Each structure stands twice: as C-alpha cells, then as structure tokens.
Amino acid sequence: MTVDNQDSGSPAMRFEILKALKDGAAARVGRLAFAGRLPIDTPNFIAITSRGAVPHITPDNAEKHLKTTGAYMALEDFIERPQQYLKRTPPIYQASTTPKHPTRLHSFTATPPSVTTILSARRLPAVPAPMGNTTNAVSVFTSTGFQSLTTTEYHSAVEALRPDIAIPLADLTHTTTTPNSKRALRMAERTDEWTVEWFSALSNSNVSTFAPVLPIPYSIQWEYISRLAEDYLPTGQLAGLALYDADVLPDLESHSPSLLPLPRLAFTNPPTPHHILRQISLGIDLFTLPFLNQISDAGLALSFTFPAPPDSKDMPGPQPLAIDLSHPTHATSLLPLSPTTTNCACYACTSHHRAYIHHLLHAREMLGWTLLQIHNHAVISSFFAGVRATIAEGGADALEQATKRFATVYEADFPEGMAERPRARGYQFKSVGGGEGKRNKPAWGKLGGNEDGNGEGKTEERGGEEEDGIVKAVEEMAVEEKEGR
Amino acid sequence: MWATARRMASHRTFTSPALKFELVAQCSVRMTCTTRARASILTLPHGIVNLPIFMPVATQASLKGLTPEQLEATNCRLCLNNTYHLGLKPGQEVLDAIGGAHKLQGWNHNILTDSGGFQMVSLLKLANVTEEGVRFLSPHDGSPMLLTPEHSISLQNSIGSDIMMQLDDVIVTTCPDKVRMREAMERSVRWLDRCIAAHKKPESQNLFCIIQGGLDLDMRRECVRQMLARDTPGIAIGGLSGGEAKDDFCKVVAACTELLPDLKPRYVMGIGYPEDLVVSVALGADMFDCVWPTRTARFGNAITKHGVLNMKREIYATDFGPIEDGCGCPCCRPVDQEGAMGVTRAFVHHNAAKETVAAHLLTLHNVWYQLDLMRRAREAIIQDRFPAFVKEFFANLYPDSSKYPSWAVDALRGVGIDLLET
C-alpha cells in the first residue's frame, strides 16, 4: 500500500508513507512533517525531556549534536504549585513567543524551532499516582507533589502551549501489571468520554491530535476506537495514534483499517533495541525511548548498529548492546566510545575517548553524562537510519533477516552499569513502599572537611568507597589526637 | 587608531623558552591614567592569551558540565586543572599513558595547574608541613603520604600544563604566628629551587614562582626579591583570598606589583569576585583564577554587571528576559544572532537545582561574564580610558555611591582613581 500525500487531518501536518512492507500493520518507511519543523523520517525516535530539557543537554548542544528532531514534553513538569505561591499561574502559560521560538512551549524551554514538540500530561516513564484518576481529572506528579489535572485545564494548556502533537488525556494506571477487566473497561469508557470532550473543545488547528490507544485488549476498547475511526477521522481532527501497547496493532488492522494510514507514535517503553525491532515490524512509526536517558545515567555507551556488522573472528560470541565505561579496562583507552566497527560520528566519539568518559564518571563530573547522552542519541539515530534503509532497499525479507541476525549478534539485555548515577530528584522517582535504600552512596561523611566533594581515592577504586575511607581515616586520626593529649 | 598603532609598534617583549610576554599598553606611562593596569599578550605553548585574564577552573579536567567546545566558545584560551585532583583521578600512570591532560580532556588550548599544596591545606584537615614536603593522610586508605616539590613537579610534568606552579608552603594569611609565617616564606623559596631542579621540561612548560609572606609587607618584599633572583618566566602572588580583610589584600598586591618587573606576567591566585578582579587589574595584576563563578552557578546564581542574582527566587519565575540584558553569552545574546539559545530567566528558574542543564547554562553565562569583564578592561587600557571603565563598573554595581566598598575606594585612590569624584 503506498499512500502519497496522505493528509491526515491537521493542516499543519503531513504524513507520507513512502513504502509499506504489506497492507496494514507492518513495517513501513515514511516522512512526518510539521509546518516550520524539520521533517522526521520514520521509523524514528524522539528525545524525552525532563522539565523541558533533554537531561544534561543544553539547547545549544541539542541543536548541534543531538541527532533528533523531536522532543517529548510532559505538562506535569511545568505546573507545580510551590508552597508559598499556591495560587500562581504556571509561568509557562505567560511565556512570550518570537520568530525563533514560535510557540510558548518552544520559547519557555529554549527548544530550537526545527524541533517537533509532543505534549502529554505525564512524564515518561510516569510515577504511578497513589490516588488514581477521577471522572474528569488525572493524577499528575509535579516537583511539589501529586496534584490533579482536570480535562479542561489540560485543554487550555494545549491551546496555550501549541505543541505540534498533543496527546489527549487517557485513563492510565502507569503500572506494569495488567488492569483487571473491570478497571480496563472503565479506562476505555473514561478515555472515550475525554476524547469526545477533547475534540469538541480543541479549536487550534495547528495542534495535531494523536489519540491514545490503551494498553488493554482491543475487545474492551473497540467502541472507543471505532468512534475515533468513524467520527474524528473523516473530519480530519484525528491526526495520528499514540499507542501504549504495540500489540493492539494487529487488531486495528482487522477491525479498523481506516486508521492504518495514520502515523503511529509509541509510548510502549521498549526495554532494548530487540523490542524496538519487533514493534517496528508491527508497524510503529515513531518511538519514545525512556531507556536512553537511563542508559546514559548508568555510564553505558551504546555499541550496536543495524544491520549488525559482518562476522569477524576477533569478536566471538554475542556482542554487548552497550559498553560500561566505568569499567577499569577503559581507564587509558583512547578509542572512541563505541567499537570502531560502528563508525559513530557523534561529537563524543570524534572529539573524545573512553579514558575521558571513564575519568568523568569516576570523578562524578556532569560532563560524562552529557557526552554519553550525545553519543547514545547518535547511536539510536543511526540504528533507525539503518532500519529505514533496510526497509526501503530490501523489503520484508531483508528486514526479517537483519532482525534475526541482530538478535544473534547482540546480547539480549543491556549490561548493568556499575557507575554511580547522577543525583535523583523527587519528581523522577517516588518511594513505593519505603526502605528501597539509597541509589548512590552518601557524598559527605560526618567529619569531612572535604566540602568540594573531594574525598576521592585512587583510580582503581570504585566511586564512593574511598569517601568512607577518608572519613574513617580522619575520624581515626581525631581519636588518636585526643588520646595523645 | 594611529596612536594605537604606534604603541603597538613599540611593544616591549620578554621571551623565555616556553613563553613570550609582550606588553601592549600600560596605564602608568601616560599622564591621563596613573593606575598600574597593563594590557599584554602572553604566548604559551598552546597559543596566544590576552591579558588581563580570568581563568575558569576545570578542577577534574572538566569545566563543570561544559564541553570543551562550549568552553572554547566563551573565548577561553587558558583554564586551570588541579594537580591534587588529577593526581588522585585519573592518577599519574593514566596521565602518562594517555599523554597528558590536554589529550585527556580534548582541550587544545592552554592549561595552568596549581601545585596541589593548597588542596593539601584546604581539603585535608590533618596535613602537616615539614621541610621535606606536605605530609598528609591518603584519602584513599588513610596511609601517611608525602607531597614533595619534586613529586608535585613530576605530576605537573605528566599533566603537561603550559604553566606549572611551584609547591609552596601555604598558611592562612591571618595566621598571627610571625615565626611560622617567615618559615613558610623562606621554605617556599627553598622549595622553588627544588622545583626548578626537578622540572624536566622547561622548554615546553613554564614554572611560576609564588610569592608568600602573609600580610607582612616587608616579608612580601623580601620574598619578591628572593623569588625574582630565581628568574622564573612568570610570577604569582599566593596565600591570599584566605579570609583576610580586603584592605590587607590590596596592600599586599600593591606592595608586590610595585617591585615586579614590567615584562613578566603576574598572577594573583584564587580571586574571582568581579570587584576584586577590577581593583587587582588597577593594581597591576594580569591573571586570576577562582572556582566561585562556576560554583555559584551551580547554586543558581548569575553574575551580572548589576550584581549577583539568585535565579531560584520566585521573582524570576515569570521573567522572560535574558539572564543579563546586553550580555553576549550564548544564553543571553539576542535570538537573531548566531549561536543564540534564547534562554530566559524563567527557564533557568524552572530548572535551577532541578536539572543539571540549568547549572550548565549559568556556568556558561558566568564564565562568559568573567572573561568578558577582563576583555573590556583590556580594551579600556589599550584605549587609554581605564579609569572611566573602573568608575562605570562600580557605578553599575552600586547605584548608590555611598555604598561603594571602602577597601576598593582606598585601593583605587592609591593608584590615582577617585571613585567618589563626580
């Protein structure tokens, strides 16, 4: 099925399917373009921001070095209510726009105008809310705590911020467990109601709506999905689908084929590139990849390519998906971050080497995470370019072969990553039952005298341990001194 | 223009194996300006540096979150690394294996390293100084270790810094013990001799001496004479910014610069507040370093010509102006200019103390501010309007002239600038 000049609803958006491997839910290459933004060749991914910034990446670095042209933003990152200013209007609604920053969302976050913005209510991944959603509001988690976000508030936020893609509210649990059928039914009903409300409220034609498809069986949400297909697709109000589970796609193919030409954005949280490949074969066009930011924080440099490199005798056995740069073997390595076979051309690989990143991770210098983010986003970007080329030049068999080979050449999971992580913030994590323990060792001890965070030890030590060393040593000396007198 | 050209033609130059110092302009030789401020060009193994200069501190071979590319874009051509920190991480063996700190951090411009002595005293409570060196407990395993002048130089040779500092005996300037102070001063001179003897690469690395002597001006003068006799390519004034009164600080700097030769760079160690920089330039100093601009950035503070602004304050939540109006840094410059980000105070407020990006943006801004301040001071010296520059600087910082700090007023009066004159 080749659909040229597909007009998928919003006048501001254009989605062309350049090649589809078969009719319906299957891998395809396309191009998603929004007025004023750089077009996105699909399959592809968009960067996930935290509080409007890709973690560790300043806007200048994002523009120069981050090989992605989309940014996912969560409204909950912008609407906190500080204790002393409970009544304040979230500042982002008052931001002014300029030719360089054409929307409030771009302007407030200093996002370059070439970047396509996607606005949704919750962060990716979202922290589950203890009190759940109500009939007209979802629970969101801001930097000042949980609060509820009503459907009307969300509508006016979208009108004010004018993202290129907006995801209407969906009644989601944000847990890994599958909801029981009663809860699932309520999810479908509420999302259905909210979507009706959404389309009647939204007047801005510059915002393209990607309607949520819930992570529940098609049989429970069929009513909602057929409403999308029958009521909002013909009017052009529905521009795309936001899937929380890629496995709903085969059902869409059989029951609502009219929705198939729409671009498909995934909030499926694939844990590895193997999962990405599977979801591409199911027909996902655009991914959000929460693992990327986590991998960089863990001190890991992605090291895979697609298609996988040809067999060589030097590399027996399955190859790792990522290299743990905190490992002592990299202390003096002047190699680029990922193996030379990957030919990574990112700023981190061309200007720096493993020994530097190793040192930065060891010294807990923030630049380490910046360079890893640049590298990891570049590797994923090349991965998707490889997938597109395989589909465009090869077709279904080539993609299947290359995917199979990828699965045998590379390990199934990412390595653990022994480096210490950046400091965690409250809006990123929520204690579930308490007693999880701290992720990082304490930076300061009792009798420090090391206010610069300088309790460091020798190179072969893992970060953190030596800090106990100095405190202990100083304490011992203090005791000796006292006794001496 | 012609006057400038004539002055340029008559540069006086000092050359040593790894350094060239050209004096471009000097206030004190002109009738209109009596301060000791100087503008000069310092050529180091990794390129040209215009003086006066502020040198940002990349303690552990990284300027707190900025890529070397971003640092380069602030026009920084000389930054600091700390010998103590690099000696611990990544360690001398790794530095030797990689081929020095330039290669480690991908920085092709100049690096200055301290001797490690200051950290011994400031970070390690139980350091003990003997004639042999500084004894301290290893932060690694608590075992006793010794930092000698020879070891410090050996480490700095491994780092490969363009400017190395001698190991000195640092004690707080406010120390009342005259005998200990004299001992420290004389020991620093003896240690300089040991450093010079241990220095293996004088053709590619410069070793600067450090003048000690606490707040005792006579002791400082004596130290200057003894250090000058050793003829190092540059001279540092050390031991300051340790909690002494600003008046005393200025007196020490003035007493030292009075005796120093015109044709060598003068480095006042560890100062970074904008007022201190401007006054020290007027007193004849050329080079400065401090962690304050980058550290305060991480606390959410922006340095501006009207003072330090704490971006975490609620008033900035809806302030959609640049961090500082008229600033040329990549955060603040008008959005239609090349490389402009269009960062607002509101965005910095939004992420201050929450995302590392806000710290990076303020670091970028603060480093730019400090470098630009020195660049503008240099221009003013060359164009023979330095006193006007100093007056404008203080007028911007203190709208009410009665609030001018008296130490600055006094110090500047001593070199012919009357801040209070209208």
pLDDT, tens only, B36-84: 999 999 999 999 999 999 999 999 999 999 999 999 999 999 999 999 9
Do B85 and A360 lie within an 8 Å CB cutoff?
no
3-state secondary structure string, chain A? CCCCCCCCCCCCEEEEEEEECCCCCCCEEEEEEECCCCCEEECEEEEECECCECCCCCHHHHHHHCCCCEEEEEHHHCCCCCHHHCCCCCHHHHCCCCCCCCCHHHHHHCCCCCCEEEEECCCCCCCCCCCCCCCCEEEEEECCEEEEEEHHHHHHHHHHHCCCEECCCCCCCCCCCCCCHHHHHHHHHHHHHHHHHHHHHCCCCCCEEEEEECCCCHHHHHHHHHHHHHHHCCCCCEEEEEECCHHHHHHHHHHCHHHCCCCEEECCCCCCHHHHHHHHHHCCCEEECHHHHHHHHCCEEECCCCCCCCCCCCCCCCECCEEECCCHHHCCCCCCCCCHHHCCCCHHHHHCCHHHHHHHHHCCCCHHHHHHHHHHHHHHHHHHHHHHHHHHHHCHHHHHHHHHHHHHHECCCCCCCCCCCCCCCCCCCCCCCCCCCCCCCCCCCCCCCCCCCCCCCCCCCCCCHHHHHHHHHHHHHHHHHHHHC
Average the pLDDT over A456-474 and give the result.
33
Are the C-beta atoms of residues B76 and B367 closer than 8 Å to each other? yes
Do B137 and A473 lie within an 8 Å CB cutoff?
yes
pLDDT at B385 over 60: yes
DSSP state of B233: S
CA distance A427 to chain B (A): 9
Do B119 and A56 lie within an 8 Å CB cutoff?
no
Longest pairwise C-alpha distance within chain A:
89
| Residue B270, pLDDT score | 93
pLDDT in tens, B34-45: 899 999 999 999
Q: Give the nearest chain A residue to B120 (CA atoms).
A: A450
pLDDT at B9 over 60: no
Do A454 and B138 lie within an 8 Å CB cutoff?
no
Do B97 and A332 lie within an 8 Å CB cutoff?
yes
| Residue A453, pLDDT score | 40
Long-range contacts of A88-94 (CB under 8 A, 24+ apart): A88/B317, A91/B317, A91/B318, A91/B346, A91/B349, A91/B350, A92/A160, A92/A161, A92/B346, A92/B350, A93/A157, A93/A160, A93/A161, A94/B318, A94/B320
| Residue A471, pLDDT score | 36
Given pLDDT bands bounded at 50, 70 and 90, which one contains residue A434? Answer: low
Do A58 and B360 lie within an 8 Å CB cutoff?
yes
CA distance B343 to chain A (A): 5
Q: What angle do CA A123, A382, A296 make, to 5 degrees?
A: 45
Q: Which of B59, B67, B313, B362 to mutate to test the interface with A (most CBs of A within 10 A)?
A: B67
Q: Give the nearest chain A residue to B343 (CA atoms).
A: A110
Q: Which of the following is catalytic: B262, B289, B319, B384?
A: B289
Kindly list the distances between the CA atom of residue A293 and the CA atoms of A363, A443, B352, in Å, as whole numbers in the listed order.
20, 23, 19
| Residue A482, pLDDT score | 37
Do B137 and A352 lie within an 8 Å CB cutoff?
no
Average the pLDDT over A245-255 and give the result.
93
Lowest mean pLDDT among A160-174, A250-264, A426-440, B354-368: A426-440
Average the pLDDT over A84-106 and give the result.
91
Given pLDDT bands bounded at 50, 70 and 90, which one contains residue B142? Answer: confident
φ and ψ of A324, to 5 deg: -80, 100
Given pLDDT bands bounded at 50, 70 and 90, which one contains residue B241? Answer: confident
How many helical (H) and strand (E) elements, i.e. helices and strands, does chain B have? Answer: 16, 17
Catalytic (active site) residue B276: no
* pLDDT mean across residues, chain B: 93
Query: Using CB atoms, which residue from B61, B67, B336 is nearest to A359?
Result: B61
| Residue B277, pLDDT score | 97
Contacts of B313 in chain A (CB under 8 A): none
pLDDT in tens, B400-409: 999 999 999 9
Q: Pick A98 or A452 by higher pLDDT.
A: A98
CA distance B63 to chain A (A): 8
A479 token code pair:
């005791």
Given pLDDT bands bounded at 50, 70 and 90, which one contains residue B136? Answer: confident
| Residue A343, pLDDT score | 86
Are the C-beta atoms of residues A209 and A231 closer than 8 Å to each other? no
B115 is in an annotated binding site: yes
Contacts of B138 in chain A (CB under 8 A): 457-458, 473
3-state secondary structure string, A93-157? HHCCCCCCCCCHHHHHHCCCCCCEEEEECCCCCCCCCCCCCCCCEEEEEECCEEEEEEHHHHHHH
b/e burial code for range B325-335 (CB count within 10 A of at least 16 → b): eebebbbbbee
Q: Give the nearest chain A residue to B69 (CA atoms).
A: A351
Catalytic (active site) residue B114: yes
pLDDT at A4 over 50: no
Lowest mean pLDDT among A254-258, A338-342, B308-312, B410-414: A338-342
| Residue A24, pLDDT score | 78
Kindly list the distances between the CA atom of residue A28 and the CA atoms of A41, A269, B131, B251, in Å, as whole numbers in the listed order.
11, 20, 75, 75
Are the C-beta atoms of residues B189 and B136 closer than 8 Å to each other? no
Average the pLDDT over A86-97 and give the result.
92
| Residue A366, pLDDT score | 96
φ and ψ of A399, to 5 deg: -65, -40
A70 token code pair:
């989309």
How many CB atoms are closer than 10 A to CB A415?
Answer: 16
C-alpha torsion sign, points A447, A451, A453, A458: negative
Contacts of B347 in chain A (CB under 8 A): 52, 108-110
Distance between terminal CA atoms of chain A?
89
Query: Using CB atoms, which residue from A60, A143, A369 is nearest to B354?
Result: A143
* pLDDT mean across residues, chain A: 86
Q: What angle do CA A299, A338, A357 make, to 5 degrees?
A: 40
User: Does the ipTM exceed 0.90?
Assistant: yes
| Residue A314, pLDDT score | 65
Contacts of B342 in chain A (CB under 8 A): 59, 98, 100-101, 107, 110
| Residue B411, pLDDT score | 96
Lowest mean pLDDT among A122-126, B219-223, B418-422: B418-422
B76 is in an annotated binding site: no
pLDDT in tens, A257-297: 999 999 999 999 999 999 999 999 999 999 999 999 999 99
Are the C-beta atoms of residues A457 and B88 closer than 8 Å to each other? yes
pLDDT at A104 over 70: yes
Helix (H) or strand (E) holding B55: strand B53-55
Do B123 and A450 lie within an 8 Å CB cutoff?
yes
Lowest mean pLDDT among A166-180, A326-340, A436-450: A436-450
Q: Pick A85 or B123 by higher pLDDT.
A: A85
pLDDT at A110 over 80: yes
| Residue A459, pLDDT score | 31
Give the closest residue to A273 by CA, choosing from A376, A393, A149, A406.
A406
Q: Which of the following is catalytic: B114, B162, B169, B286?
A: B114
pLDDT at A1 over 60: no
Contacts of A369 in chain B (CB under 8 A): 356
pLDDT at B206 over 90: yes
Average the pLDDT over B252-263 and give the result.
96
Amino acid code (one letter) for A161: L
Average the pLDDT over A170-185 and give the result.
89
